[in-house]
Structure 1
């Protein structure tokens, strides 16, 4: 969903948005590290977001606006426009509330679509994947040489969210941990038979990756 187009009719300027975020941090006395931690992301990923703009990961920008006490229109245009008739919630600020770990796993459910973040040469690589939850781990399939195939033991992040950026509503769950490659036929069969597992459409034998969490955090965004 393109928040800039829906709100202003034009593409938002990512450099202007980055400057607004930096200026707001200065006003609040927030460091880069503090903003990243409160928005449930790493400082490296925050820097990547500021370079890429809201289209790269809109839910992450919604969390940033909630931490900074801004609205989505304020982030995109630098001012708070009047809400159109019937849309009194357009300029509403969001409150970022912390979720417990059990609440996070409940929201993750048993399967769905999320984004895995893998180490890259110059910045994290974030890719959408279909996932399964099994015994407090997250598992997904990819091609053996696919972009989402990490080296065994690589640090990874995994994020699932349901966000309405215009109304500042929704939730986000972030899993930080290590990627482990599934290397036994029994474990592959077990994962393939879990509810929500879909038939593999690739040509080569799929590679299962299991993310073993070191930390599971979540935020719920409610209107202020």
Structure 2
């Protein structure tokens, strides 16, 4: 390990040690259990996490594997962390969006989340969506989680975050599902920009979310 890597913000002593401790807690492991999984002593584990002393680089590899991480994630953190990692601004305010502003925020297409009733808890799944008039439509496989029956209550949510300016908005639509089977409707929908799901594959079932209520919030600077 070079001196620059030890003192860098991403790969520095505190960053790696923090990532090891956080991941250990997430996995429900004690320090001794983690050391056993990584095939090392607890004292060597502490040295390795602190990047102190002379150690075998293979030790970092074993530690990363024990934590179900890659070596790069262990040293530098995730390349695609979830949004909202920056600190909140000093003067932001939360405001409600009007119905028209909600539809304006959704635009014509994008990626959102479906909220569905599960057997024991709500289920959230991401979907590519299109805005069609005053409704949201998506396509899926007949055997998928999102392939709910006509009339099923469901929710749809989409949001955008601006990490640099610490601003963002969220729109929530609640309603019921409707299957779209008329080729004169599904054909033009399939030709629209954004209609091709990122997940790929055949997704012949089109479902419309018939809205009963749409609400939205925006965080902005006055």
TM-score when normalising by structure 2 = 0.57
Corresponding residue pairs, total: 148
Q: Secondary structure at the match of 2:144?
A: coil
Alignment match, 1:202? 201
How far off is 1:141 after superposition?
A: 0.6
- Could you tell me how far apart the structure 2 residues matched to 1:220 and 1:172 are? 6
Query: Structure 2 residue aligned with 1:124, among 116, 122, 125?
Result: 122
How far off is 1:182 after superposition?
A: 1.1
Structure 2 gap ranges (5+): 1-14, 27-81
Alignment match, 1:106? 104
TM-score when normalising by structure 1 = 0.57
| C-alpha contact (below 8 Å) 1:97/1:219 kept by paired residues | yes
| C-alpha contact (below 8 Å) 1:92/1:167 kept by paired residues | no
| C-alpha contact (below 8 Å) 1:117/1:156 kept by paired residues | yes
- Could you tell me how far apart the structure 1 residues matched to 2:99 and 2:156 are? 14
Q: Deviations over 1:45-98 (max 9, x none)?
A: xxxxxxxxxxxxx78xx8xxxxxxxxx8xxxxxxxxxxxxxx8x6463642100
Indicate yes or no: 2:135 matched with 1:137: yes
- Could you tell me how far apart the structure 1 residues matched to 2:94 and 2:221 are? 9
- Could you tell me how far apart the structure 2 residues matched to 1:159 and 1:130 are? 11
| C-alpha contact (below 8 Å) 2:117/2:154 kept by paired residues | yes
Structure 1 gap ranges (5+): 15-57, 63-71, 73-86
For the aligned residues, what is the CA RMSD?
A: 3.1
Q: Deviations over 1:179-210 (max 9, x none)?
A: 1111222221121122322279324x510010
| C-alpha contact (below 8 Å) 2:153/2:176 kept by paired residues | yes
Larger Rg: 2
- Could you tell me how far apart the structure 2 residues matched to 1:120 and 1:146 are? 13
| C-alpha contact (below 8 Å) 1:167/1:223 kept by paired residues | no
Q: Deviations over 1:92-147 (max 9, x none)?
A: 36421001111111110000000011111111111000000011110001001111
Cα pair distance change 1:121/1:221, threshold 3 Å: same
| C-alpha contact (below 8 Å) 1:90/1:166 kept by paired residues | no
